[in-house]
Structure 1
């Protein structure tokens, strides 16, 4: 599992108008090529009256699967520029479809490239991006007398839950690459008066401003 990834915060839709043509940018998180194809076909069915439904997607931890389609626009003027925007933002597991309703004014090859690129960039700004960080769940069992000392040394964002029983159990989430350092610091802070248990690993998604 990779330590971090970037993707869109949520599925969504953003619209722009360029020289009377409407560009609707549909974005969706996907985890397989089949899922991406179903999404693209769904948009095409919904917007069957549109002049073009161009698409691009990146799938896999290292974007192993990359596809794009100009859907009738001049070759290289839509799908590839859309894909490049996703790649420049280092995103994974994203499918984008830009629907164009022609407004009567031709944009030319350069204009089309800029329009489709802008539509995707605007779409990403609209739905937002997140950074996923691989984190380890760590349980700390300690005496009540040490709780204040521990809480004062930990950022609030690190503590997931505190359970009060015969002893106190503080459940923390720590970035995977920081686990060994974190455990060593806790042992040193509490002078060994703590029982440390590692739990599940998973991704925590943090919005990118």
Structure 2
């Protein structure tokens, strides 16, 4: 598991990114559940995630951050990463970010990919 906390702030919103190996949709859900055992993550506004399962099936969950899961999914597709869930966590800071929220999700995923050597 890779977990990068407090990697980005934008107008009060704080971000973290986490990820690890999974083989099924249930594994991905269990990964997020495990992450949310940490009170800090369970209190986050959004834990958006995506994975491309080893059989090529894409799975995503926006967790209320409409459109963010597809951003993660597209980045995983471009990098051809299978069987690795990536979770972008956001703690809302009181100011809506509009379209910039997608850029922040991309920034987080890029930091994750850099940390894993991809």
TM range (shorter): 0.7 to 0.9
Q: Which runs of 4+ in 1 moved over 6 A?
A: none
Q: Aligned residue for 1:41?
A: 33
| Secondary structure at 2:72 match in 1 | helix
Instruction: Indicate the structure whose relative CO is greater, using CA pairs within 8 Å and at least 6 residues apart.
Output: 2
1:32 shift after superposition: 2.2
Larger radius of gyration between Structure 1 and Structure 2: 1
Please point out which of 93, 100, 103 is paired with 2:83. 93
Aligned-partner Cα distance in 2 for 1:100–1:51? 6
Unaligned 5+ residue runs, structure 1?
Answer: 1-10, 130-209
| Secondary structure at 1:100 match in 2 | strand
1:88 shift after superposition: 1.0
Are the aligned partners of 2:52 and 2:83 in contact in 1 as well (CA < 8 Å)?
A: yes
Deviations 1:19-62 (A, max 9, x none): 3211110110112222111001222332111111111111115x
Task: State TM-score, norm by structure 2.
Answer: 0.87
1:125 shift after superposition: 0.6
Aligned-partner Cα distance in 1 for 2:52–2:113? 14
Unaligned 5+ residue runs, structure 2?
Answer: none
Q: Aligned residue for 2:71?
A: 81
1:83 shift after superposition: 0.9
Are the aligned partners of 1:43 and 1:97 in contact in 2 as well (CA < 8 Å)?
A: no
Where is the strand percentage greater, Structure 1 or Structure 2? 1
Q: CA RMSD in A?
A: 1.4
Task: State TM-score, norm by structure 1.
Answer: 0.51
| Secondary structure at 2:52 match in 1 | strand
